[in-house]
Structure 1
Amino acid sequence: MDQSQMDTLILKMNQAFIVRTEEIKEEFSKQTHALTENFNKTMGTTIDEKLNPLMEENNILKQEVLFLKEKIHNLEKTAKKNNIILHGVEEREENHSNLMEVVLKTLNDMSKAAKIEDFDKWEISETFRLGRKDNKKKRPILIKLTLTWRRLAILQNNKHFPDNVYATEDFPKDVLQVRKELKAAQQDEIKKGNLAIICYDKLIIKKNKPGKSQDKRKRSPTKTPENIQLNREGDSLTAPNKINRANKLEFTSRYRTNTLSETQTPKN
């Protein structure tokens, strides 16, 4: 075999090797793609099988958490329904017993001014100051009452407390935050002329009817009748004679009588 034949053989072998290499690469790529698809499908199915129960359990836990939050909120609301917070009372008491006396005196001073029943000790189950003691501030007093209607009586007679002393409701922290956020919206509605009231954690708005005046109508002053005459002799006012107005029933009765008489009169 000469050199030219040898070169030709080597060239053919190289070409065959290249072709075979490409075939192997293509086969390997197909197998890799098939393995990848199979792996993804298998893993996706496996993940879904394991993840779905976890997601369902997570949803159940979320619902339970919401239910428990609502239950805690209702319990806290019920626990605070007979509470009030008294603001502006001087902090001079030395112990809890003195604080009870201060609270009773403040409430009874208000009840006398409002002309309602005085408060007794049995109507107050507990009293204590809120927050840390600060000589520069008057800490509010939390009062737990035994009767709901007495709490309402206090809130309705706030104006009868001394100056700078007033009572407020005892709201949960989340409700206080909501009411604080609603305050700005309430002021905006009031500026528009609407009636806006914050009821617990909701803003109730009553729209003002267009064209309706907000000012109360005042009664026009009564004018003196022009036909009142002055009696010169006695310098006294004399009212004019009353105008006799026909009684409707009497007029009707007379009309019927006359008509009946005419019908019964024989003709000539």
Structure 2
Amino acid sequence: MTPAAPKKKTASKRARRISRLSAAEIEAMFARLKALNPKPTTELEFTTPYELLVAVTLSAQATDVGVNKATRKLFPVANTPQAIAKLGVEGLKPYISTIGLYNTKAANVVAMAQQLIALHGGEVPREREALEALPGVGRKTANVVLNTAFGEPTMAVDTHIFRVANRTGLAPGKTVRAVEDGLVKVVPPDYLLDAHHWLILHGRYVCKARRPDCPHCVIRDICRYPDKTPGEPEPVAT
């Protein structure tokens, strides 16, 4: 019996190496994203650094739309550490019960409020170490608050930014921290403050996980992603 011929090895999509964008391509990428949206910001609704901190904490594994629906009811009632601490865990839960992991988040938000009162006079600290020491606050949340509330050029990498950075060749990396460090190095200084917002919005509405909208992507000609969604590309402004 003749042995079967060995199957040809085919490279999986994940195994493909994507080349990095050049400095000129990165400059063009952000110039185009800026032209589309000159003043990007978070889609979470807030009016104070504390409201932003709470909203970002609630947004883990939840949508901004869902968080906004909850905070529109919560913030008119309690939008300071003192008010949240007074509300307590059981008092907070009904306001955020539509958000995933609300039991854990309620405990964290109340403990966070108590710690802000005890250690920071009820104010949101501007130092990374102090932010990350708060209950329920990790590096990504701290980066969002530092960037959006205090104007620091930080890079908060979520699933959207992780995907865009790897797909496009902007800052490929195997971990969130590797991508964050890569982005801080390659994003031109003039764009770094707003880069987080441009990238997250691009990932949320254009470079989507299952089917990226490549025909309507303004950086399609720059992007290194090998499996672009077919369709006639949109004219690219230069």
Q: TM-score range by the shorter chain?
A: under 0.3
Task: Normalising by structure 2, report the TM-score.
Answer: 0.25
More strand by percentage: 1
TM-score, reference length from structure 1: 0.23
Structure label with greater radius of gyration: 1
